Amino acid sequence: MKIISWNVAGLRACYKKGLEEFFLSELPDMFCMQETKVLEKENPLHIEGYKEYLYPAEKKGYSGTMIYSKIEPLSIKYGIGIEEFDSEGRVITLEYDNFYLVNAYVPNSKRELERLNERMYFEDEMRKYLKNLNKNVIYCGDLNVAHEEIDIKNAKTNTRSAGFTIEERNKMTELFESGFIDTFRYLYPDAIKYSWWSYMGGARAKNVGWRLDYFIVNNEYINKVKDSLILNEIMGSDHCPIKLIIEE
């Protein structure tokens, strides 16, 4: 089984930059997207054989998540029951026979860390939500944090930057300590690969990036993970796609 996750930074914009061609070249079992910024009637991407689950933000042109799935899920849940985040279309959960697939676009703490307290609240509630799911969990998406120094090009100059504060990094550590595993880092403990680059200063060409996108599974499910990849050669967004291969 193959799952792709990608912050497309606007589904319509990414569609114009080769999203459909990439989708057709991979044909994953599930394709999770974040920052879709579309309503259903505005979405140009429809792939034969896939069910579509779109969760737009109430604010037009902002946030939003989506999952395309070849396999019809047993259940679908939009949100985590907290209005300030659910109104932004941040989390979709699809239930399958052996696992839950949770696609998330975690709130950014913003430039002056003005949303850091809300972010901390989100992280605590998300961890509780994942722990309460009653089967295996695949948690993926743009989690908006570079967990360790290896996950960011310029660690020392970014210690108070949104996405690399000690507060955000500690929340991810708490998640791992509560029974979850970062699949990429588990398989590739020393690999330096990034999934997001600023549009400023030619950052992508220089590979001055951050690893913000993850596939995370519960500890008991890690033996089913065959590979976890960062497809940093794929263009179309300021993020690149990531891919998880599961033996099911």
Q: Which sequence positions are flagged as catalytic?
A: 105, 142
Q: How many residues does the chain have?
A: 248
Token representation of residue 3: 């799952």
Single-letter code of the amino acid located at 245: I
User: What's the Cα-to-Cα distance from 233 to each of 204, 225, 227, rounded to whole Å?
Assistant: 10, 22, 17
Q: Report d(CA 150, CA 147) in Å as an integer.
A: 8
* Tokens found for residue 182: 């970062």
Region label for 25, one of left (φ > 0), alpha (ψ between -120 and 50) or beta (otherwise): alpha
Q: Quick one: how far is CA 140 from the chain centroid?
A: 4
- Given CA atoms 125, 169, 64, 5 in this order, what sign does their dihedral have? negative
Residues 6+ apart with CB under 8 A from 240: 6, 195, 196, 213, 230, 231, 232, 233, 234
